[in-house]
Chain A
Amino acid sequence: MAEGYVYFPGCSLKSTGVAYEESLLTLFRLLDVKLQELDDWNCCGATSYMAIDEDSAFALSARNLALVHKSGNSQVLAPCAACYLVLRKTQDYVQRYPSIRAHVSSTLKAANLPMAADSVHTRHPLEVLYNDIGVNRIRSKVSRKWQGGPVVCYYGCQAVRPYYEVDKPVNQSRMEELLDAAGIPTVNFALKTKCCGGSLTGTIHSVGLRLNYIILKEAARKGAKAIVTLCPLCQFNLDAYQSEIRRRMKENLDMPIFYFTQVLGWALGGGTRELGLHRAISGTTLVKQWFSAAKEVAAHV
């Protein structure tokens, strides 16, 4: 098991996804694993930068990998799915395409940075928890009994495609296994990797809205009371628009949308505020029922 990791927060974790950062740091602290934020990291570029300029998009992302290398690390943790994908893709494409490699190389050289784009490995916390820390260790550190209903695990897109290191290509199960080790009941549903629309909720709102509506509806239909996710944009999309969905679709959907780090952190004894559980927009009634300060004590095993 590794002693610690350098981690790449990405832009979302400092604003709409701040609860992800809070719960990630809390969870890893409870597991005695150090996390160090990468110094002077820059935006990964996500999907938008690539739409305008491909070579620079890889170079932009490669700067982060170079900084990781400079800090003496060969791995970096990227919790945001989009950041994870961009960094991982950079690592891959720089090796496969000489034209991309050349551009990245010259940009890094001009910036006096090492060409480490292909030697730094990008990892996602879900897979780090599963592979490095392990299900058994998590089980052994559980100090609270789950007080809530069954949940569905929603993996989204970019962490699980097109690279299959975070989980297998179809019928993903690692999040379920981790939650199971923490005593959290899960139900399966067919939409666990159906796209939430990403930035479409901001641009073509009706389309984005419906993509989230169908996920919420199917989760509810399968008996889930909440959704657990691993991407800040998915969490935001599923969380921020439920009142509008209730109005438009005339359906009574009101589900908390958690990060897997939040629910695992709670099972391991983390406090509701330090896990960012107070930042929920939807499903707040259930959040209060399952996670109050009183519950923090009462649920102790």
Chain B
Amino acid sequence: MQIERKMKQQREAHPGWASEIAQLPGCEKLFSCIQCGTCSGTCPLSIYMDYTPRRIINLVREGFQEEALASQTIWLCASCYSCAARCPQKIQLTDVMYSLKREAIKKKLFPKRFPIPVLASEFHKMVAKRGRSSEMWLVMRMALKSNPMILLTMMGTGWQLFRTGRMSLRMEKIDRVHELPHKSVGATEVH
């Protein structure tokens, strides 16, 4: 049985980081949090997260960047907006989660080979290049780059989709690709 020391010293906190996050669009009310826990209570994914949404907000406020950005929480967020809709302080938690996802990628703190950031990255690459997503190809690339076992579990579903005419094998692309936004400097590969 592993015994671990869990004391958190103030030198581990990043002063000023919370203010940086609070400047981002949608994150303005970050400091108003009264830690009531409504967000975690209503979040359908909170029971699967390592830190509940409420705890993430406090980690950000206290400047514990590594814990917040390396968490599974921000990736498990399904953007259902239940938290933002119920928060008594009207904190737009979903926007906070998106901001933390982007920070996690910038600082390379996301869990490696975790399917969700891989999916996001593959989606982004595909759409940035071609202007449309092709679901089947997207799922394949995501699985190959994170956990190939996923493909095996999806075989049954794949067959059903094919049978009912709901699977498109085309690689979609728009005509005027030059009108798409260029891949910005911030976006990095996630492998």
Q: Does B85 contact A (CB under 8 A)?
A: yes
Q: Does A2 contact B (CB under 8 A)?
A: no
Q: Does B30 contact A (CB under 8 A)?
A: no
Which listed residue, A16, A18, A49, A204, touches B76 by the CB 8 Å rule? A204
Chain A, residue nearest B154 (CB): A202
Q: Does B82 contact A (CB under 8 A)?
A: yes
On chain A, the residues within 8 Å of B120 by CB distance are 48-49, 51-52
On chain A, the residues within 8 Å of B172 by CB distance are 11, 14
User: How many residues on A have C-beta within 8 angstroms of the other chain's C-beta atoms?
Assistant: 62
Which listed residue, A56, A63, A96, A111, touches B187 by the CB 8 Å rule? A56
Chain B, residue nearest A19 (CB): B166
Chain B, residue nearest A164 (CB): B85
Q: Does A136 contact B (CB under 8 A)?
A: no
A203 close to B167 (CB less than 8 A) = no
Number of A-B contacts (CB under 8 A): 178
A11 close to B133 (CB less than 8 A) = yes
On chain B, the residues within 8 Å of A97 by CB distance are 25
Q: Cα distance A265–B161 when bound, in Å? A: 23
Contact bitstring A175-205, B, C-beta under 8 A = 1, else 0: 0000000000000000001110111101111
Q: Cα distance A244–B157 when bound, in Å? A: 10
On chain B, the residues within 8 Å of A99 by CB distance are 25
Q: Which stretch in B6-14, B32-40, B61-69, B97-105 binds the other chain? A: B97-105
Q: Cα distance A60–B99 when bound, in Å? A: 18
Q: Does B58 contact A (CB under 8 A)?
A: no
On chain B, the residues within 8 Å of A93 by CB distance are 25-26
Q: Does B115 contact A (CB under 8 A)?
A: yes
A162 close to B102 (CB less than 8 A) = no
A4 → B minimal CB distance (Å): 23
Known contacts: A40-B176, A46-B123, A49-B124. The answer to whether A11 contacts B132 by CB under 8 A is yes
A202 close to B119 (CB less than 8 A) = yes
On chain A, the residues within 8 Å of B48 by CB distance are 204, 207
Q: Does A290 contact B (CB under 8 A)?
A: no
Highest count of chain A CB atoms <10 Å: which of B80, B102, B121 = B80
Which listed residue, B26, B81, B153, B187, touches A161 by the CB 8 Å rule? B81
A158 close to B80 (CB less than 8 A) = yes
On chain B, the residues within 8 Å of A272 by CB distance are none
A56 close to B135 (CB less than 8 A) = no
A48 close to B124 (CB less than 8 A) = yes
Q: Does A143 contact B (CB under 8 A)?
A: no
Q: Does A15 contact B (CB under 8 A)?
A: yes
Chain A, residue nearest B124 (CB): A52
On chain A, the residues within 8 Å of B124 by CB distance are 48-49, 51-53
* A126-147, CB < 8 A from B: none
Q: Does B131 contact A (CB under 8 A)?
A: yes
A177 → B minimal CB distance (Å): 22
Q: Cα distance A43–B171 when bound, in Å? A: 13
A278 close to B81 (CB less than 8 A) = no
A220 → B minimal CB distance (Å): 19
- 20 A-B pairs with CB atoms under 8 Å apart are A40-B175, A40-B176, A49-B123, A49-B124, A52-B120, A99-B25, A112-B179, A157-B78, A158-B81, A162-B85, A162-B92, A169-B85, A195-B80, A197-B78, A199-B119, A200-B45, A200-B76, A202-B154, A207-B48, A280-B164
Further contacts, 20 of them, CB under 8 A, given A15-B136, A55-B184:
A11-B132, A11-B172, A14-B168, A15-B166, A16-B167, A40-B175, A48-B120, A51-B105, A53-B124, A54-B99, A63-B180, A99-B25, A111-B176, A157-B82, A161-B81, A202-B154, A203-B116, A204-B116, A244-B156, A281-B160
Question: Residues on B close to A: CB < 8 A?
Answer: 25-26, 44-45, 48, 76, 78-82, 84-85, 92, 94, 98-99, 101-102, 105, 115-117, 119-121, 123-124, 127-128, 131-136, 139, 142, 146, 150, 153-154, 156-157, 160-161, 164-168, 172, 174-176, 178-184, 186-187, 190
Question: Residues on A close to B: CB < 8 A?
Answer: 11-12, 14-19, 40-43, 45-56, 59-60, 63, 93, 96-97, 99-100, 107, 111-113, 157-158, 161-162, 169, 193-195, 197-200, 202-205, 207, 211, 240-241, 243-244, 278-281
